[in-house]
Amino acid sequence: MSASSADSGLLRRTVAAVVPPDPAAISDARLRQAQLTKPPGALGVLEDASLALCGIQGTCPPRPLVRPVVAVFAGDHGVHAQGVSPWPQEVTAAMVANFRAGGAAVNVLARQVGADVLVVDMGVAADLDPGTDLLDRKIGRGTADLATGPAMTRAEAERGLAAGIEVAHLLVDRGHDVLLTGDMGIGNTTPSAALVAAFTGADAAAVTGRGTGVDDATHERKVDVVRRALRARPVGDDPVETLASLGGFEHAGLAGLVLGGAARGVPVILDGVIAGAAALVAQALAPDAVGYCFAGHRSVEPGHTVALERLGLRPLVDLDLRLGEGTGAVLALPIVQAAGATLREMATFDSAGVARKDGRR
Ligand SMILES: Cc1cc2ncn([C@H]3O[C@H](COP(=O)(O)O)[C@@H](O)[C@H]3O)c2cc1C
Ligand SMILES: O=C(O)c1cccnc1
């Protein structure tokens, strides 16, 4: 079997394995929520999250999330040549070294909540020391420039999706019970904006932001690049082609992680606009995969809000972050854990002997 038919086979099987979250567990969770010693609905979004967690795990009360891991998917981008980021491309590889050494923002935040951080070299341009990488191979070495042609071949996009699925299986097999998404790739807010525009139909200007903090001229160039790419290569209804045309290797890996996590019945906490764009790819391939996702936070990037609306996900944290790496996902982890813990551990009106609103015991 050629590598590419193995990849498309894994993708097909994974998409077929994504079933809707368990409706029986969700209805058990709703009943249990109603018994807990609090006014109905008083725990707000935590209650919704607790129902979602039960659906994802197929059990009520939900199991505690004790082995969190952030998978940081890294890749470089040919569109960097268009001057869409003020940072040199070498920063991607240097930051991978920083993640491995434990010095990046995501490492600090992950230590706060006891999450592991693992790097996946999807398509960093430079050679990296294999270190503790999750994949034993690169999928690519930077994408082609999406401003002038497709960023990836279809085979590359499929290989990237399959790699993300493999990472999900590997992590779940190692005992991780919640997967958090991270990204690193100088220039990657541009392909993210392009993917969000492609999957939502939003205008380039509405979804293209300032990334690492670009000036007005650079921002205008980004909007123009996104608009021209969408005009030159209008999207059809094939999500893999859209990903190949506009996305990056880290988007492919992240979309695969979402599909793999969903297929294994494990919750996935999404980070910012890069993850949001990748989740749109996963949603287009397997709409039920979104039911396994929590939106960790809302990024400052305007395309992220557009993506979250299309995904139908409410961000758990909204702190004006615009970093990526998985930082927003990690900050949301304790909230998802808290949602499960309240449903699992709170006393019921009966067990605590607390009277209900109508005076019934
Ligand atoms: C030092 C540094 C650390 C980062 N960590 C995440 N990003 C974030 O910024 C990049 C996307 O922004 P743009 O599209 O404007 O290049 C990505 O690498 C993303 O992960 C970083 C960026 C830099 C410079
Ligand atoms: O939304 C994000 O994750 C983001 C925003 C700006 C730069 N890098 C990442």
Average pLDDT, the chain: 96
pLDDT of residue 129: 78
Alpha-carbon gap, residue 2 to 165, rounded angstroms: 18
Provide the residue type at 34 as one letter.
Answer: A
Q: Is the pLDDT of residue 354 over 90?
A: yes
Nearest 5 degrees, angle CA 266-CA 267-CA 271? 140
Within 10 A of 149 (CB to CB), how many other CB atoms are there?
12
The token pair that represents 354 in the structure block: 């607390």
- 215 alpha carbon, distance to own chain's centre: 27
Q: How far apart are the CA of 289 and the centre of ligand 1, in A?
A: 27
Residue pLDDT, tens place only, 199-244: 999 999 999 999 998 899 999 999 999 999 999 999 999 999 999 9
Q: How far apart are the CA of 263 and the centre of ligand 2, in A?
A: 27
Angle separating helix axes 273-285 and 239-246, nearest 10 degrees: 150
Residue pLDDT, tens place only, 285-295: 999 999 999 99
Residue 276 · residue 296 · CB < 8 Å: no
The token pair that represents 14 in the structure block: 């994974």
pLDDT of residue 131: 64
Alpha-carbon gap, residue 311 to 330, rounded angstroms: 20
Q: Mean pLDDT, to the nearest integer, of 142-154?
A: 98
Q: Mean pLDDT, to the nearest integer, of 48-67?
A: 98
Catalytic residue among 47, 158, 301, 325: 325
Distances (CA, A) of 69 to 132, 167, 329: 14, 11, 10
C-alpha count within 13 angstroms, C-beta hemisphere, residue 83? 8
pLDDT of residue 166: 97
User: Given the DSSP bridges, would you call strands 268-270 and 116-123 parallel, antiparallel or unpaired?
Assistant: unpaired
pLDDT of residue 133: 66
Domain segments of the chain as ranges: 3-63+343-352, 68-334
Helix (H), strand (E) at residue 68: strand 68-75
Q: Which bound ligand lies closest to the C-alpha atom of 181?
A: 2
Q: Which bound ligand lies closest to the C-alpha atom of 271?
A: 2
Q: Is the pLDDT of residue 57 over 80?
A: yes
Residue 157 · residue 92 · CB < 8 Å: no
Mutate-to-test residue for ligand 1 from 79, 181, 183, 184, highest number of ligand atoms within 8 A of CB: 184
Residues near ligand 1 (Cβ within 6 A): 85, 87, 91, 95, 183-190, 211-212, 214, 323-325
Q: Is the pLDDT of residue 132 over 90?
A: no
pTM of the predicted protein model: 0.98
Q: Which bound ligand lies closest to the C-alpha atom of 308?
A: 2
Q: State the fold for domain 3-63+343-352.
A: 1.10.1610
Residue pLDDT, tens place only, 60-69: 999 999 999 9
The token pair that represents 221 in the structure block: 């160039």
Establish whether 158 is a catalytic residue: no
Q: Is the pLDDT of residue 134 over 80?
A: no
Alpha-carbon gap, residue 53 to 63, rounded angstroms: 9
pLDDT of residue 252: 98
Full DSSP string of 277-344: HHHHHHHHH-GGGGGGEEE-B--SSHHHHHHHHHHT---SB-S-----TTHHHHHHHHHHHHHHHHHH
Q: Which atom of ligand 1 is nearest to the CA of 183?
A: 20
Residue pLDDT, tens place only, 258-299: 999 999 999 999 999 999 999 999 999 999 999 999 999 999
Q: Is the pLDDT of residue 328 over 70?
A: yes
Q: Mean pLDDT, to the nearest integer, of 33-60?
A: 98
Mutate-to-test residue for ligand 2 from 109, 323, 325, highest number of ligand atoms within 8 A of CB: 323
Mutate-to-test residue for ligand 1 from 85, 87, 109, 251, highest number of ligand atoms within 8 A of CB: 87
Share of the chain above pLDDT 70, in %: 98
Residue 258 in 3-state DSSP?
helix
Residue 326 · residue 117 · CB < 8 Å: yes
Alpha-carbon gap, residue 234 to 242, rounded angstroms: 9
pLDDT band (50, 70, 90) for residue 1: very low
- 334 alpha carbon, distance to own chain's centre: 17
pLDDT band (50, 70, 90) for residue 3: low
- Please tell me the class of the 68-334 domain: alpha beta
